[in-house]
Chains A and B, each alone.
Chain A
């Protein structure tokens, strides 16, 4: 089996993306989108520091995401043992967080209540509802 085939897909939300089939994230449990399970994590220079989780099951579906270590340095959620198991990890050093970005007319908002936990080595990701109920679903982002 070839794990390094590079395929270009015309994604209807974010345009042409090169998909290395060894870099496709499997995302379990994204509320609202139960059938979207394979996502390409796409870095685009023109939208940096925002990246994209582009669904490969639904080419009209893509989420803007942000690595919180870039702009939200105080936001360092601690993954529980169960959170780690959801992405096939055993130690926090194996995982990283992405927050979902929502842009509307009055600004850019990030979802701090339910970030995406990513295990790059295993290509697994999951949206985690953090135990801290004070974290907002819509937090304004200062750029």
Chain B
């Protein structure tokens, strides 16, 4: 695994501190909501990146993981009164198991690249159709999370600030998992599989095993995110949490930020989500779709000028600076 440059660590802690102190500013509810969703998508993108970035198996069905997590905790809460804090873990594990099932069926047959992508789309669509036709899960009209007022033990808070801190915690945990993965054998193995599966296999790596591990981890984390969404919005339906649209949104952020890097996916969400929100608030009221036009144009420009994402751009600038320094040293030596 390409290790992150050393300066990124103090920066990470600084960023974390800024995020922890931000609400003291007295932010408006609207800004706070934007920040929460930005963190939420940063977390989902980070979860996607473990399988899609490190292991290079691009999934376009991550909404299924999010949905399984959200529906599991909400169902357990509304039917059996089980706290979503507990339901969250059960939902995560179920989403992970679904990932194992999906990964095993696809990887066993040697599917990769676009074929794996298609399987993940299909699997997510199947989950959506099942939920749409399942009366116990509310079908197309969705499920409402029973409102209990301020009740931290049941994952419900009066103030948005509390949700904000939960979101910060989630993303921090997601990034921590990414750092741990990238520093350990698992991370090296996943990148080796991505770069050259045959060579990885020849060096004794059980590629199926490690790809499944990555799928489980990715699904598990996404499932946790689903519960957060359900508790924050207090309403879930297939359209909002199981649709292809959500899967696409999850994959856009890592592409913009830098696929396969620890910080890239979250960074992508930090940049793109507010831009989308801004576009909507500025042009959303005028002619229909103009804000989407702006959003799309911004995305295209980003991809054209930063094909390796924000992290790739930062690395390139670093290298150019290093190169200039070296050139200067060589010049100085030549003068002597």
To the question of whether A and B form a pair in one complex, the answer is no
Residues on A facing B (Cβ under 8 Å): none
